[in-house]
Amino acid sequence: MLPDSILQRLTAQARAEGAVLHLGVYYKNTLVSLCHALEDAIAQSQGQPVVLAAFQLGKWYLQEADRYGQLAERSRQVAILAAPDAGFAEHPTGERSNVDLVEIDSTDPVSQEWHLTIVSPSYCAMVLCQELSPADYGPAGTPQSDLERKFYGLWTFVPQWVDRGAALLVERVARYRPQLAQQLEQQLAAVAIERQTTPIDDWWVVTSQVVNYLQATHRDRHPDMAIAQLGFETVTPLDRNLVSNEIQAFLRLAELLDLADAKNPTASTDVAALAEAMGQLLDLSAAQLKSIRLVALLHRIEQPLAKVAEEAKAQMGDFCTLRGSQVLRLMPRLRSIAMMLNHLDERWDGAGLPSGLAGDTIPLESRLVALCADFQRSQVAGDPPEVILQRYRQDAGRWDPKLLNTLTLLAQGLQHGWQLPQVPLRATSGLWLLDDDGTAIGPPPTSGSTGI
């Protein structure tokens, strides 16, 4: 990392606090799609954001100048940093009252970085990368295609890190234009106050937008082939990078839902560890364990749309079931996972929702993750394991008795010192979740249900 760059300073802050920023490598075509998605989500969001961007050269800004003029119409303030270049300051967007262009010195390490930071009352997002050096590319050398250029860094929705990145960028602006930096600090402070009373529903819009844009880029690269048919033998590293970031978008959403729950901020990783341990005790296949882990990591996405589902049902009748898992259907590779998530509220006796499935017709992954999620939630509430298990036995119609026996065995082991591995939810690559051929996540559904 370049000394005194924003990426280096943010990483140093995290390290000093014992936190970890999960960095990865991104191709330019992935970053273009990602940034366009995050930018265009502004038009669909509830609040007016502060937008901070840094371009390596003024000419790259000129390619996006018209877009930033449109973004300014929905933003309270836009600040754009770039090394001086022909036409950088002359474009009409720079004449808008809420748009400021900051010409930075060509020796400033920020001139070698790619930044987009959106701080809104209803969502936050940040892309923070710097281009690989010629030496980093290795023997193959730098790519011939501009879209194959590689960047090292991160993108995140987590307000803590978005706010930190924004503050570091404002500090950099202060070196060149102190009054503008003071104005940006005031705007960011106003956003922080509004954020306390603004719903976070826009996270769903932003996640859907990211996946749609990444898939559109994928389709443009393969116009004659469906995305779901693309195996790893037919795709390039650029395609794999796009797929990885589609999955990361959902994992980042799950991370946000955990962070929003102060009483249970590690639910996703805790449930994933429990569910995977149970799967190992049941001697499930590697493919099933992979599916179970992903269902567990994403199990909380069912919750935020509950109110919307109730309103839709009131308007459209009982046939309308709007569930968070439907967001996953945007990505063909995640449809089997979406089906498993959709059946988390089924009951062993068939009295559950949404399909009234009973017994082994409920996907095994759904039964297992639902049991682990309820067990983890009850433990966080303060119930001892033996009390929880006794309650489960009394409600015989809710849980699979075979899985209940396995959970009892696991709970006894934990009381005698067994340790569950904890793997952070934040992943810099989602490719570990794909099957070997790269065409799907998880095995076919393990029940006779028709899905969602």
Annotated domain spans of the chain: 6-198, 252-433
Quote the percentage of the chain above a pLDDT of 70: 80
Class of the 6-198 domain? alpha beta
Q: What is the pLDDT confidence band of residue 319, given thresholds at 50, 70 and 90?
A: very low
pLDDT digits (tens, 9 = 90+) for 121-153: 888 899 999 988 888 888 877 887 777 888 999
Instruction: Tell me which range, 199-203, 288-292, 425-429, is most confidently predicted by mean pLDDT.
Output: 288-292
Q: Is it the case that residue 234 has pLDDT exceeding 70?
A: no
Lowest mean pLDDT among 11-20, 22-31, 45-54, 182-191: 22-31
Lowest mean pLDDT among 28-42, 47-61, 415-429, 436-450: 436-450
Q: What is the pLDDT of residue 200?
A: 63
Q: Where are the alpha helices (H) located in 17-158, listed in sequence order?
A: 28-40, 58-73
What average pLDDT does this structure show over 56-77? Answer: 87
Q: What is the pLDDT of residue 148?
A: 80
Q: Is it the case that residue 432 has pLDDT exceeding 70?
A: no
pTM score, two decimals? 0.76
Lowest mean pLDDT among 68-77, 82-91, 120-129, 359-368: 82-91
Q: What is the pLDDT of residue 424?
A: 57
**Contact indicator for 302, 344 with CB cutoff of 8 Å:** yes
Q: What is the pLDDT confidence band of residue 338, given thresholds at 50, 70 and 90?
A: confident
Q: Is it the case that residue 349 has pLDDT exceeding 50?
A: yes
Class of the 252-433 domain? mainly alpha
Higher pLDDT pick, 238 / 140: 140
Q: Where are the alpha helices (H) located in 45-158, listed in sequence order?
A: 58-73
Cα dist from 380 to 306, 374, 404, whole Å: 22, 10, 19
pLDDT digits (tens, 9 = 90+) for 360-386: 999 999 999 999 999 999 999 999 999
Cα dist from 248 to 3, 114, 118, 156, 221, whole Å: 28, 19, 18, 10, 20
User: Is residue 145 exposed (0-12), middle (13-18) or buried (19+ Cβ within 10 Å)?
Assistant: exposed
By three-state DSSP, how is residue 64 classified? Answer: helix
pLDDT digits (tens, 9 = 90+) for 157-175: 888 999 999 999 999 999 9
